[in-house]
Amino acid sequence: MKAKATIHLSSRPSVISYAAVGGKKEGEGPLGDYFDKINDDPYLSCTTYEQAESKLQKQAVLICLNKAGLQPENVDVLFGGDLLNQCVSTTYGVRSFEIPFLGIYGACSTMSEGLALSSIFTDKGVCQKAMAVTSSHFCTAERQYRFPLTYAGQRPPTAQWTVTAGASLLVSQHCKAPYVKACTIGRIVDMDITDANNMGAAMAPAAFDTIRNFFEETGKTPSEFDCIVTGDLGKVGSRLFCDLMQRHGIDVSANHKDCGLMMYHMTDQDVHAGASGCGCAGSALCGYFLPKLKAGEIKNMLFAATGALLSPTTTQQGESIPCISHLVWLSSEDN
Amino acid sequence: MKAKATIHLSSRPSVISYAAVGGKKEGEGPLGDYFDKINDDPYLSCTTYEQAESKLQKQAVLICLNKAGLQPENVDVLFGGDLLNQCVSTTYGVRSFEIPFLGIYGACSTMSEGLALSSIFTDKGVCQKAMAVTSSHFCTAERQYRFPLTYAGQRPPTAQWTVTAGASLLVSQHCKAPYVKACTIGRIVDMDITDANNMGAAMAPAAFDTIRNFFEETGKTPSEFDCIVTGDLGKVGSRLFCDLMQRHGIDVSANHKDCGLMMYHMTDQDVHAGASGCGCAGSALCGYFLPKLKAGEIKNMLFAATGALLSPTTTQQGESIPCISHLVWLSSEDN
């Protein structure tokens, strides 16, 4: 029998602060008003796109700390990661803060991995305040995964648009809503999909595996949650995900939301199958969902960001795409 | 005042199993006899070097589990990472095990990050058995960080040789020696060094920062440890590290060891300033040090692997090299 993947957080740690910063296109999308800051300049006044992405992380951490009235030295540990080779958006973005740092890699599932680890650390008394940060940038992702923008490569209909955004949140030992009640650590799922322009289809089975594990291990049902949020499955992946759940007797069609379908106006913003990138689920959580949990507009939600753990090298070598999804149960209710 | 970076593990979790696998050159080095398995073929019967590196991880995990008489389903969580873009040695190496997986990124400090997290998880009762794995491969690292091997690029005297090795260990709740007594989470340290062929010099200040923090926060002194082990500082970095410690009144010259200086015969094996790579500190720990701790030949040791958090892109953009070191206190004594 497999080990249980769900960890119950009995002390219910609190997400006491959060921040989301975005780019111009994100500002023009349906979530535009929910960002703490919009950067119209894709370079953010830096000389390279990579430096710009690092600056998104720096902005997100500073705004998050500022909203909590805290300084970097008040944070015990920072979990951070991103999509760039060797996670350099993070390491260069946060190096000046001098916070004890644990680098994580979960591709676009990074925010749920960081939130899960921050919640576990505070719940178990490892530390008092733990922070998570992530980012993505359209221009750095295009350069690395596909082509430099100036090549003007054609995108197939299943392709998703990498979100330019940074997101950060701060978890503290139990004090106020929203609370983190449990998390489910994902397993790597590889269904032998090899099309790197169809990440949604590759990632859907990972979201399904983790969310099903959560329901099986806790005895909870979908109707107990206002929303069940996946990371960035987009149009293709979301349909597959709901189908997979349905076939296994779990109906999430009434309360499933996908951050990849929320970020842009799907008819006007020319993003094909939707949004993607670590900043997608990260900024949707920190900009849109966490304030609604705090206000009690959302009572219970599952947040399951999804990541595709491939690299351009493995794609060139004809490998399939291993994927993962970590889940966090967030609640406005202290019980 | 900065938050304390040292976490005491009061229940003293046990490292119950460990495995190190290496390549031909590592087999011919001073630690050759300490590896569980030596692979003479750099391809490990695979078609690409990247697949070969993934296989090093798979071998290390399987031997580690086998020595403990356990199956993958007995492991609650696996922490893994490596140097390749998007950590693909790990994700492809461990995907078949279906163990709940948390990806980490700490460059060559990965084994100390994985060991620290595994120890924290078991100490705090998050789970019963946690595993850590990492790897590096000379040929994948050369291709990615410098040049494909066939270019026959010249290496400067400060350059280090990436170790071909995989390493894995399994941490359980308290049962037998060796025990993990504490760990110190590193901060990112960037001393403005920009020479990507001189990683030792870049990383030495990070090792110094973390080890000094440990001594300051615990009140311990170097003489209480049989050895104080750094990851892969090599010749240049080791000298700098000892100098930095000395200047701050901490004399580690009598018991400092560096995995980067232990892996190869420095006069015969043409490795310039020494060894490097996630597999360097990882296999030295799992092959050489842990068995000596188990046998009681080493009573107390500090293991502080070091990582350089740069990428080829940031080097090309003229950026300096942010570095990190995480520390773990290992002991054969149950008190």
Q: Which of A91, A108, A134, A309 to mutate to test the interface with B (most CBs of B within 10 A)?
A: A91
pLDDT-derived band at A42, boundaries 50, 70, 90: very high
Asked whether the predicted pLDDT for residue A327 surpasses 80, the reply is yes
pLDDT-derived band at B152, boundaries 50, 70, 90: confident
| Residues of B with Cβ-Cβ distance to A51 under 8 angstroms | 317
Asked whether the predicted pLDDT for residue A100 surpasses 80, the reply is yes
- The answer to whether B321 and B186 have CB atoms below 8 angstroms apart is no
The angle subtended at Cα A241 by Cα A29 and Cα B79, nearest 5°, is 90
The verdict on a CB contact (< 8 Å) between B322 and A91 is yes
Asked whether the predicted pLDDT for residue A2 surpasses 90, the reply is no
- Can you give the pTM of this predicted structure? 0.97
Strand-pair partners of B308: B323
The verdict on a CB contact (< 8 Å) between A101 and B7 is no
Q: Which of residues 289-308 of A touch B (CB under 8 A)?
A: none
Of the candidates A335, A299, A329, the one whose C-alpha atom is nearest the C-alpha of residue A11 is A335
Mean pLDDT, residues A90-98 taken together: 97
A101 — contact with chain B (CB < 8 Å)? yes
**Tell me: the pLDDT tens digits for B32-59?**
999 999 999 999 999 999 999 999 999 9
| Residues of A with Cβ-Cβ distance to B188 under 8 angstroms | 91, 94-95, 98, 101
Mean pLDDT, residues A85-114 taken together: 97
Q: Estimate the crossing angle of helix A49-68 against helix A138-145, to 10 degrees.
A: 140
Q: What is the DSSP string of B278-311?
A: HHHHHHIIIIIIHHHHHTTSS-EEEEEEEEE---
CA A210/CA A326 separation, integer angstroms: 7
**Tell me: the pLDDT tens digits for B121-150?**
999 999 999 999 999 999 999 888 877 677
Distance from CA of B81 to the nearest CA of A (A): 8
Q: Is the ipTM of this complex over 0.85?
A: yes
The verdict on a CB contact (< 8 Å) between B309 and A77 is no
Mean pLDDT, residues B179-185 taken together: 98
Which parts of chain B are beta strand (E)?
Answer: 6-8, 14-23, 37-39, 77-82, 101-103, 129-136, 161-162, 165-172, 179-184, 227-230, 256-258, 275-276, 300-308, 323-331
Q: Read off the tokens for A119.
A: 């919640």
DSSP A284: I
User: CB contacts < 8 Å between A and B, how many?
Assistant: 171
DSSP A28: T
| Residue A161, phi-psi category: left (phi > 0), alpha (psi -120 to 50), beta (remainder) | beta
Distance from CA of A149 to the nearest CA of B (A): 16
Q: Which of residues 180-199 of A touch B (CB under 8 A)?
A: 185-188, 190
Q: What is the pLDDT of residue A265?
A: 96
Asked whether the predicted pLDDT for residue A330 surpasses 90, the reply is yes
Q: What is the pLDDT of residue A154?
A: 80
Chain A residue whose CA is closest to B315? A88
Residues 6+ apart with CB under 8 A from A318: A194
Chain A residue whose CA is closest to B96? A188
pLDDT-derived band at A335, boundaries 50, 70, 90: confident
Q: What is the pLDDT of residue B335?
A: 81
pLDDT-derived band at A153, boundaries 50, 70, 90: confident
Mean pLDDT, residues B259-288 taken together: 95
Beta-carbon-side half-sphere exposure of residue A219 (alpha carbons within 13 Å): 1
- The answer to whether B102 and B162 have CB atoms below 8 angstroms apart is no
Beta-carbon-side half-sphere exposure of residue B304 (alpha carbons within 13 Å): 32
pLDDT-derived band at A1, boundaries 50, 70, 90: low
For residue A205, cis peptide bond before it (omega within 30 degrees of 0): no
Report the sign of the C-alpha dihedral through residues A138, A144, A150, A156, in that order. Answer: negative
Q: What is the pLDDT of residue B1?
A: 58
Q: How far apart are the first and last CA of chain B?
A: 31
| Residues of B with Cβ-Cβ distance to A101 under 8 angstroms | 185-188, 324
The angle subtended at Cα B46 by Cα B45 and Cα B48, nearest 5°, is 135
How many percent of chain B have pLDDT more than 90? 90
β A6-8/A161-162 pair status: unpaired
Q: What is the pLDDT of residue B159?
A: 87
Q: What is the DSSP string of A137-189?
A: -HHHHHHHHS--GGG-----TT--EEP-EEEEEEEESS-SSSEEEEEE----B
Residues in chain A: 335
Asked whether the predicted pLDDT for residue A151 surpasses 90, the reply is no
CA A12/CA A295 separation, integer angstroms: 17
Q: Read off the tokens for B102.
A: 């948390």
B28 — contact with chain A (CB < 8 Å)? no
Q: Which of residues 45-84 of A touch B (CB under 8 A)?
A: 47-48, 50-51, 73-77, 81, 83-84
Q: If you search the block for the tokens 């709940």, which residue do you land on?
A: B100
Mean pLDDT, residues B224-236 taken together: 96
Q: What is the pLDDT of residue B83?
A: 96
B209 — contact with chain A (CB < 8 Å)? no
CA A144/CA B316 separation, integer angstroms: 14
pLDDT-derived band at A3, boundaries 50, 70, 90: confident
